[in-house]
Structure 1
């Protein structure tokens, strides 16, 4: 294996980036897997994230060889409530990834939806892309339809655009508007560029509103559309190239 300090040979690609593009996990998760001793290359455990993958190197994860990174692919998936957006749940609850067709390649999610949330979840075989699209720098707006119980104060709702604080946690700008009200239940449209864990639910709680349903209807340029719960549809490559400029082509590695 090649370390970053070796300047006599081509460096290749950092192992975390290589495995992320191969859809194994995010860079951060790969670094944790290295610490756990789950990754090997050249017959030896990988001990440092600054290890580089070069032509012909065989990388193993949990003893299984990782294939050449394929072309970047993205799917739209309609997540129903009741599924965890994790590959494995310590409590044994059902996950999104267990619900996917057997023919699906290994994929990771772009961000997450909590177990009680529904709607659009983007899945990709490129963990590097997933990380890129999750970052606030992507400036991609995530839009939700939110049903709340309680009396909606439209003035306070509008003030969320300036950020808010609830139970000592500061939240960024949220654009929220009232769509309809029937009795004590109202539907809102809520948009944000960066979301902390359960942010919408907690911000609404700060307005004395209880979220009874939360549906993500879009993530950046991608829409939930008419997808039914658990339905999956791949985004055409042409659309990907139009919406995500500068997609990195897989590094072609020759075998020895």
Structure 2
């Protein structure tokens, strides 16, 4: 009888390893390693390029890193006036403060501004987060926007071909007009990139002001009827094809 070949797992960079178990993004982990927050085999690690294997004992902030669990994904309704961050020097609300203690360490897939509310995805798998937040994922981000001012539809039509504002090029954005009240209007904006404060900058360029910004869709995932601070786990079968 032929003996089966033993499967040997290749070494991987420690930044990738820690990202896969949901510690943070690779960029964050590089910073934390340089700060001396990671130990391997009882020694402080300062080199973020080192490679590790399954036998390497890794500690982050004094706690041993567990082996990778099955990838999980959640939808969270981010409230206004909260940060998509693990820390804030000003003591402002963080989205992770609203999560139940029973869920494992998670990271956000992308970010939402402090005063933006709505759908944000959370996962325990840093590699999945990195994959889905990139524009190459092709995921459409859809927002419901309340605008202060009288909407001129011709201005919004310019966005269909993209626009350059203050030397920043924004890719085409699909805009659907919902309704206009005496001083406010509601519109829907769908975009692929999600650059920093993209919608707010565009609306300001047209001479209006965003008074409420709600993300209602991220790719195939929808906010639906979720209430503020609601957390719902997504079935593995509903996202396994994305892995």
TM over 0.5: yes
- Whole-angstrom distance in 1 between the partners of 2:227 and 2:147: 22
The equivalent of 1:170 in structure 2 is: 169
Residue 11 of structure 1, CA deviation: 4.2
* Matches for 1:89-100 after TM superposition, within 5 Å: 89-100=88-99
Is the Cα contact below 8 Å between 1:11 and 1:52 reproduced in 2? no
Residue 199 of structure 1, CA deviation: 0.8
Contact 1:40 1:46 in 2 (8 A): yes
TM-score, normalised by the number of residues in structure 1: 0.89
Distance 1:238 1:110 in 2: 19
Select between 87-96 and 47-56 the one with higher mean Cα deviation.
47-56
Q: CA deviation at 1:171?
A: 2.0
Tell me which residue corresponds to 1:80: 79
CA contact (8 A) 1:142 1:193 kept: yes
Task: Normalising by structure 2, report the TM-score.
Answer: 0.93
Tell me the distance in 2 between the aligned counterparts of 1:40 and 1:55: 15
Corresponding residue for 1:101?
100
Q: In the aligned structure 1, how far is the partner of 2:78 from the partner of 2:191? A: 19
Query: 1:10 Cα deviation (Å)?
Result: 6.4
CA root-mean-square deviation:
1.4
Aligned residues of 1:154 and 1:177 also touching (Cα < 8 A): no
How many angstroms does 1:58 deviate by? 0.7
**Whole-Å separation in 2 of the counterparts to 1:213 and 1:55:** 47
Mapped partners of 1:145, 1:11: distance in 2? 45
Following TM superposition, the consecutive aligned residue runs of length 4 or more in structure 1 with deviations greater than 3 angstroms are none
Q: Which consecutive residues of structure 2, in runs of 5 or more, have no partner in the other structure?
A: 1-7
CA shift digits 1:190-240 (9 cap, x unpaired): 000111111100111011110000000000000001110000000001111
Which whole-Å deviations, capped at 9, do the CAs of 1:45-80 have from their partners, x for residues lacking one?
A: 223232122122111111211111111100000111
* 1:1-256 paired onto structure 2 within 5 Å: 11-242=10-241, 244=242, 247=243
What does the per-residue CA deviation read over 1:70-106, in whole Å, with 9 as the maximum and x for residues that have no partner?
Answer: 1110000011101111011111101000110011110
